Structure 1
Amino acid sequence: MGKNKLIIHHIPRSMILSQQQLVADKTLVRLCAKMHKILEFQAVVLAAGKGSRLPDVGGSVSKCLLPVGPYPVLWYSLNMLEKVGFQETMIVVLDEDKSNILNALENCPLKIKYELIDIPSEEDWGTANSLKYISNRVTTDLVVVSGDLITNINLNEVLNLYRKHDAALTTLFFNNGPEEWQKLPGLPNKTKPDRDLVCVDEETQRLVFLASASDFEGNVSIPKLLVKKFESINMYSRLLDAHVYVMKKWIINYFIDADRFTSIKGELIPLIVKKQLSKPKNPAEKKGTSEKNVELFKDIFYYAVDHGYESKIRQMSAYNDHKLGSKPVYCNDTLRCYAHIPDKNTFGIRVNTLSSFCLSNKKIISQWENLTGSPLTDRLHPNSEVKTKQIDETCTVGEKSFVSEKTSIKNTFIAANCTIENKVRLTNCIIMNNVTIKEGCVLQDCIIYTGATLEGNCSLQYCIVGPHHLVSASTAGVHQLYAETTDNMITLG
């Protein structure tokens, strides 16, 4: 029997994988992975924010538990993950909020499994600190979602952009145009919203520049290398950062070892975007070694290494991410960041200011089917008692609440265990849990926090009533704040 011969065949160019074929093959790999219970992504929802831009009159009410329509804010982020097939997620919360959040989510329709991971309430941790805290649980690429996000976007649009280009990082921005002006309850406020300067290559969707507008006093300087490298850059100053980030596992390893980041949005993401313009240093150029020639600090490119066949496939493929010019695919960049900006009809809002809190409640019913895929059937909870017939279709009433017969309620959200007595008129109001509104009160565009009581015949417009506060009978007020005073109160920020 003769020896076996190794025969090498020439591969025609037509047989070389295109990027589209590569994406299809990756899809097949993902399906096989699911069959073997290998996770492609893990998800984490960051819900430990204290709501520093909201009025500090909410007492113990966590930002992620603020009511928007029939459910707390946090439910909408979890529902978004559930809709695209996530079966489980981690939720980072403050330890003082854990029991309240568990109780609230138990009353929400959810199939996704969630694990609440609590962090110390007394510590002033940033979002990067929270990720560092759960890093030992992260074994795959990570999807980071803000716990105050409400959107009807299909998250697969962001995930597929990440997959297609084997990105280090992919982000989500909403281009909703100028913020809608609305008259807000509470004391007058002249605080201007923070804005980002975002540069995206029009052809490739590469996120090439990210900075806060407050970092620039006058003119904005863009690195010359960006202009040479990318032919059509769009600069935006009114995008809403959704705080949705899809990132490689090695990014977690990098910022843990670096040990100098506290904020994902403010520090980590801008650095990674900026590092796209750099190249890995040659070993001879590296500095910062000990006497034994051991590197003291590892640069980001030490972590950004292809461990599979991605780089070899790109070299063999005819695919290029840009149409014109002689530049190689991805300009040979090791780091690649992308931004998904859906069309303006996409609903996206972050409930992190008083304005967005009011606006989200104003629009939630009209957007309900787009958000959830099904109509809202139980606007009035079956365990509530609503005797009035003067309640319109834009209202919701929570569990075990009682609404008297002679009342008029329009575009108002009433939470659980509330009592609304006779001859009360509510228009454009948000009524939280365990609130009592006594006979003859007239409220317009007001926010009433948990446990508050309004005595008879109060007349309030554009007012905020803090938790467990008692408003005396016949009180009349416009743009007022009724709350227990605290040393650290921020009336409107």
Structure 2
Amino acid sequence: MEFQAIIMAAGRGSRMSDLTSCMPKALLPVANRPLVWYPVNMLETSGFSEATIVVCETDLQSILKTLEQICDVKIKLHFVSIPYEEDWGTLDSLRHIADQIKSDLLVVSCDLICSVQLHQMADLHRTRDAALTMLLAPSPDVSEASVPGGKANRKVEHDVVGLSPDNRLLFISSEADLEQTLTFKHSFLKKFPMVRLKNRVMDAHLYFMKRSLLDHACDGALSTSTTIKGEFIPHLVRRQFRRRHCAKDQDQSLNMTADVRQDGGENEDGFSRLVQEYSTHPNDSASMRDCFHGDRMKCYAIMVKDELCVRVNTLVSYCEANRQMAKELARVGVLDEPLVAPSVQIPSKSTVGADSLMAEGSSVGERSGIKRSVIGKHCVIGDHVKITNCIIMNHVTIEEGSTLSGTVVCSEARLGAKCELKDCLVTGGQSVIGKSTNEVIVNLEQLMEVE
């Protein structure tokens, strides 16, 4: 096996705790499929025969049962649990299973929904003899997205990256950590005379890595680092340019100002001109190959173009993913499955829009209408109910005359007759009556346990 696949599914969903208070983040339903199914399916359709899933010990049985019994996954899955009491990051989890990893590896988060062809990334990783190859995507624009509860943080974490013409990863930083001025050494600019500086970039949390990086992660210098994205990768990118010999560095640093927070995907022209001005290397492919010659460690990145790439790590992105995947299932290999399960009975005077999904075992009453919504399994929808732009999870009862818009209703909830909810979030097992707008209706005891 050339690459050993590792799915990170132990995260607790701290930025969407209203949703994860009653179920693991990995099992949150997106288009009526558990979130973790998407990376598992991506690996399976890409030819992987097995994968390791890292889970929290308290979630092991529920995730195992869902994937093996409900989702009919064909790929062989190995589960590794980590202690619930430990607040481990992704790099901690990799160290925990390092002795089980015998080859180069592919690490992917359980919250990634992606249609990228993995063999293309693997080809780049091999041909460039890269230590690391990571997937990047344009940051989503959620400024106009409706958010259940009304108070959810719409802020998206942007990264700023610097790439060479052949996608060598030369620089990476969270946009929030940057000042207006970036400083690069003269030697760096001589070696890389053309740099594309991109802002509003999202790290997709999909990485091809050499096995030797795990040994490096266990070194004393990195023993306190806990995350792949926030600490390990920036360290690797910087390490690319470490000199072989400890000669005295007499290079002068150059201060270059670039507005990394302005809208748009790239800030290239002015930056590249400054680089060329201070560079003694001609800008041609032969000299670029010479520049790369002799590097001990090389990091590369692939930027998503037209492929589907969504991360589900906030309430905003969760809602957007459900809206998008209701129309995009074919892009992740779901081709022949009907949008409305055959077992669903729809009365002649009720309607379910072509932009909605309904899972098996659910029922719709007389003169009800469902638009742009996802309805889970075994839901009971009464007469004269109107549902628009909503996510209804499994085993939910909505009594007659109710109207729901822009609302998420978690499993086992019950909405009373003539209930009206607009842009609300109802957590699992709640009973709701009356009218509400922009509210989170939550079991406080469950939420306190999660936090």
Band of TM-score, shorter chain? 0.7 to 0.9
CA RMSD of aligned residues (A): 2.5
Counterpart Cα distance in 2 of 1:338 and 1:327? 15
The Cα offsets for residues 62-109 of structure 1, whole Å up to 9 and x where unpaired, read as: 111111112111111111111111010001111111122122212124
2:438 maps to 479
In structure 2, distance between residues paired with 1:176 and 1:229 = 29
Deviates more, 1:255-264 or 1:423-432: 255-264
Cross-structure match for 1:184: 147
Q: Residue by residue, what CA displacement relative to the aligned partner does 1:371-415 show, whole Å, maximum 9, x if unpaired?
A: 21x524233334544446401222222232232233211121111
Letter in 2 for 1:477: S
For residues 129-176 of structure 1, the C-alpha deviation after alignment (integer angstroms, 9 at most, x for no partner) is 111111111000000011001111111121111011111110000136
Picking from 208, 213, 228, the partner of 2:170 is 208
Q: Is the 8 A contact 2:139 2:158 kept in 1?
A: no
* Mapping 1:368-447, distance limit 5 Å: 368-372=329-333, 374-387=334-347, 389-447=350-408
Q: What does the per-residue CA deviation read over 1:272-320, in whole Å, with 9 as the maximum and x for residues that have no partner?
A: 00001102357x99xxxxxxxxxxxxxxxxxxxxxxxxxxxxxxxxxxx
Name the CA distance, whole Å, in 2 between partners of 1:101 and 1:385.
Answer: 30
Per the TM alignment, residue 459 of structure 1 is displaced from its structure 2 partner at its CA by: 0.7
Q: Which of residues 241, 250, 264 in structure 2 aligns to 1:277?
A: 241
Q: Structure 2 CA distance, aligned partners of 1:144 and 1:182?
A: 30
Matched, 1:221 2:180: no
More strand by share: 2
2:255 matched residue in structure 1: none
Shift of 1:271: 0.2
Shift of the 370–487 alpha-carbon distance from structure 1 to 2, 3 Å rule, reads closer
For residues 15 and 102 of structure 2, what CA distance do their matches in structure 1 show? 34
Q: Name the counterpart of 1:153.
A: 116
Relative to structure 1, is the Cα distance of residues 386 and 93 closer, same or farther in structure 2, using a 3 angstrom cutoff?
farther
Between Structure 1 and Structure 2, how many residues are aligned? Answer: 413
**Equivalent residue, structure 2, for 1:52:** 14
Q: 1:190 to 1:96 in 2, by over 3 A?
A: closer
Choose 135-144 or 179-188, whichever is displaced more. 179-188
For 2:377 and 2:296, locate their aligned partners in 1 and report how far apart those are by CA, in whole Å: 52
Q: Quote the residue 1:266 is aligned against.
A: 230
Relative to 1, partners in 2 of residues 1:161 and 1:270: Cα closer, same or farther, differing over 3 Å?
A: same
Q: Residues 368 and 376 of structure 1 are in contact (CA less than 8 Å); yes or no, is this contact kept in structure 2?
A: no
Q: Helix, strand or coil: the match of 1:274?
A: helix
For residues 20 and 347 of structure 2, what CA distance do their matches in structure 1 show?
A: 30
**Structure 2 equivalent of residue 346 of structure 1:** 307
- For the pair shown, the structure with the greater C-alpha radius of gyration is 1
Q: In structure 2, the residue corresponding to 1:99 is in which secondary structure? A: helix
Task: Give 5+ residue unaligned stretches, structure 1.
Answer: 1-38, 286-320
**In the alignment, is the contact (CA less than 8 A) between 1:84 and 1:155 conserved in 2?**
yes
1:279–1:333 contact (8 Å) kept in structure 2: no
Select the residue among 60, 84, 91 that pairs with 1:128.
Answer: 91
- Aligned 8 A contact 1:441 1:457 in 2: yes
Matched, 1:335 2:294: no
> Is contact 2:2–2:104 with CA below 8 Å preserved after alignment?
yes
TM-score normalised to structure 2 length: 0.86
Separation in 2, partners of 1:407, 1:274: 59
Deviation at 1:234, TM superposition (A): 1.0
- Could you give the per-residue CA deviations for residues 399-447 of structure 1, whole angstroms, max 9, x where no partner exists? 3223223321112111122211111111111111221111111001100
Identity, in percent, stands at 34
Which runs of 5 or more residues in structure 2 are unaligned?
A: 249-282
- TM-score normalised by L of structure 1: 0.79
The answer as to whether partners of 2:326 and 2:374 remain within 8 angstroms in 1 is no
Contact 2:35–2:111, Cα closer than 8 Å, also in 1: yes
Amino acid at match of 1:114: L
